[in-house]
Structure 1
Amino acid sequence: MPLPENDAGVGYSFGLEVDGIQIKHITEISGLKMEQDVVELKQNDSKGNYVIKKIPGRWKAGELTVTRPLNADNSFKDWVKNAQLGKMGDVRKGGAVILYDYENAPVARYNFTNAWPKSLEMSTLKAGDTSVLTEKLVMTYEKLEAE
């Protein structure tokens, strides 16, 4: 469902699904990017003039960074551990980043294919700090498509 004319989406209303499971408590997602190579075709035209034509190439793989508060859910840690053990059949997952409107109806969906965790980083630990501890998961994917 598209947004009404002259309305815009808001950056705080989004969700993440991995293999059909809604991941809760996500505070930030970055790296949502669809990109492809550019191929330069260098040739001469019928008058002998040198011409460069740019044509679309192959899709580029990408990376998503997902941040959430540290909690009792060990799914990110388990996913990374399985990747480190080389269990790629279990590790590669499909999913989506979903954007919602003001009434929580989905307005856009970005589906990713064959994602697996590249790294998991804990926020900085600092004596006297009162900020919430977070974990930041970087996952690489093979393709991102908008729906």
Structure 2
Amino acid sequence: MPLPDMDSSAGHSFGLEFDSVLIRQITEVTGLKMEQDVIELKQNTADGKYAIKKLPGRPKAGEVTVTRGLTEDNSFERWIKDSRFGQMASARRNGSIIVFDFTGVPIKRYKLINAWPKSLEIGALKAGDTSVLTEKLAITYESMEVEL
């Protein structure tokens, strides 16, 4: 259920969807952004004053990190294995990061174009530690579109 224009939403939970496979146990998403270069045009105005005009440049590729608790699911490992061995045709995928509200309904979707995994980091392994083991997947992408 979409929120009214002036309300904001708390991201209750997050999901990662690639190739129609939805991973709902994402606990953190960092680095998700759209960015572009800025071009500075230096010129003289009609009355002879020096002016700098800023223009939009090329879009920049991005990188996002998703974190989840360590599980038996090995989809992250299978995906990064393709990129590590140069099988980029199967490693590059289009997918989405989904933000769910408290009822589990998607409220926003960030579509990642030509995304592939850059790294997989397992949380610190400490004997006797009571914190949850996590895995962080860094995903690089060529562009991002916002949906919903």
Q: For 1:28-73, what per-residue CA distance to the aligned partner results, in whole angstroms no more than 9, with x for missing partners? A: 1111111111111111111121110001111111111011111111
Determine helix, strand or coil for the equivalent of 2:26: coil
Indicate conservation of the 8 Å contact 1:18/1:96, yes or no. yes
Residue in structure 2 matched with residue 85 of structure 1 by the alignment? 85
Q: CA RMSD in A?
A: 1.5
What is the aligned partner in structure 2 of residue 143 from structure 1?
143
Corresponding residue for residue 111 of structure 1: 111
Task: Out of 6-15 and 78-87, give the one that drifted further.
Answer: 6-15
TM-score by length of 1: 0.92
Q: Which moved more, 1:98-107 or 1:19-28?
A: 98-107
Q: 1:127 to 1:102 in 2, by over 3 A?
A: closer
Task: State the partner residue of 2:51.
Answer: 51
1:11 alignment counterpart: 11
* Alpha-carbon separation, structure 2, partners of 1:32 and 1:21: 20
Q: Which range moves more in the overlay, 82-91 or 72-81?
A: 72-81
Unaligned runs of 5+ in 1: none
Runs of 4+ in 1 over 6 A off after TM superposition: none
Contact 1:9–1:100 (8 Å) recurs in 2: no
Which sits farther off after the overlay, 85-94 or 95-104? 95-104
CA distance in 2, matches of 1:117, 1:101: 27
2:34 alignment partner in structure 1: 34
Q: Distance in 1 between matches of 2:2 and 2:45?
A: 44
1:82 to 1:138, Cα distance in 2 relative to 1, 3 A:
same
1:63 aligns with 2:70: no
Aligned residues of 1:60 and 1:142 also touching (Cα < 8 A): yes
What amino acid sits opposite 1:113 in the alignment? I
Aligned identity (percent) is 59
Runs of at least 5 residues in structure 2 that lack an aligned partner in the other structure: none
3-state SS of 1:11 partner: coil
Q: CA offsets, 1:94-143, max 9 Å, x none?
A: 11112233443332221110111100000001121011111110010000
Give distance in 2, aligned partners of 1:59 and 1:134. 32
1:3–1:101 Cα contact (<8 Å) kept: no
Higher strand share: 2
